[in-house]
Amino acid sequence: MTSDLSNEPTTNRYAYKAALIGAARQFDLTDEGFSWTVGGKSGVWRYADIATVRLSYRPSSMQPRRFRADIELADRQRVSIFSTSWQTVTLMAPQDRDYSTFITQLHARMQRAGSKAALLGGLTSGLYMAGAVVVALVTISIAGLLARALATGEFAGASFLAGFAALFGWQIGGFMRRNRPQSYTFDHLPKELLP
């Protein structure tokens, strides 16, 4: 660890299991750069050579609070880091504090190295717009079915649709709100995209 980081709380290493079977993926912040080991591959990327960092919110059925960071070089080499790790067949454990600290430290080292990386948050614009269209179509469909159920006196069906709409809005609305396309700076990482 370099002397200019010695007084800061740091997590210079982060590891997680992307699958139940297989080795953990390991990432280190070294003086030479961002070091990664994924499966049988490994590498060290200088902080100034990192072209893009994209932070996003990626919930799964096993872990509703899961976050992702994609780190990419200009030649399209990319590694992904998740905030959760597989523990057992039915358990995906959150690593919120370690993930947040590691990602924050990575940004701090990139900034000190004079990085000109594109710092992006959320989904790509095209994917976000496609998702927004699907959400709009589902919303219109539910509204139409709800209106028909009320008009025909099917109150049980209307209650079911209202409940489904509330759950859909809560789940998908949160996902879309957190993953709206944005850019950010080294000084202001998006809080909604970190645990």
Domain with residue 50: its CATH number is 2.30.29.30
Residuewise pLDDT in 10s, the chain (195 residues): 333 434 444 569 999 998 878 788 999 999 999 999 998 899 999 999 999 999 999 987 767 889 999 999 989 899 999 999 988 777 888 999 999 999 999 999 999 999 999 999 999 999 999 999 999 999 999 999 999 999 999 999 899 999 988 988 888 888 999 999 999 999 999 999 999
**Domain identity same for 88 and 63:** yes
Residues 91 and 135 in one domain: no
Is residue 69 a contact partner of residue 80, using CB atoms and an 8 Å limit?
A: yes
- Which segments of the chain are extended strands (E)? 13-16, 25-29, 34-38, 41-45, 50-57, 67-73, 78-82, 84-88, 91-94, 118-121, 182-183
Phi-psi region of 153 (alpha: psi -120 to 50; beta: other; left: phi over 0): left
Share of the chain above pLDDT 90, in %: 72
Instruction: Quote the number of domains for the chain.
Output: 2
Q: Check whether residue 59 and residue 134 sit in a common domain.
A: no
Q: Which amino acid is at 52?
A: T
159 lies in the same domain as 188: no
Cβ 49 vs Cβ 117: under 8 Å: no
Q: Are 99 and 164 part of one and the same domain?
A: no
**Range of the structural domain that residue 171 is part of:** 125-175
Instruction: Note whether 166 and 87 are same-domain residues.
Output: no
Do residue 88 and residue 138 come from a single domain? Answer: no
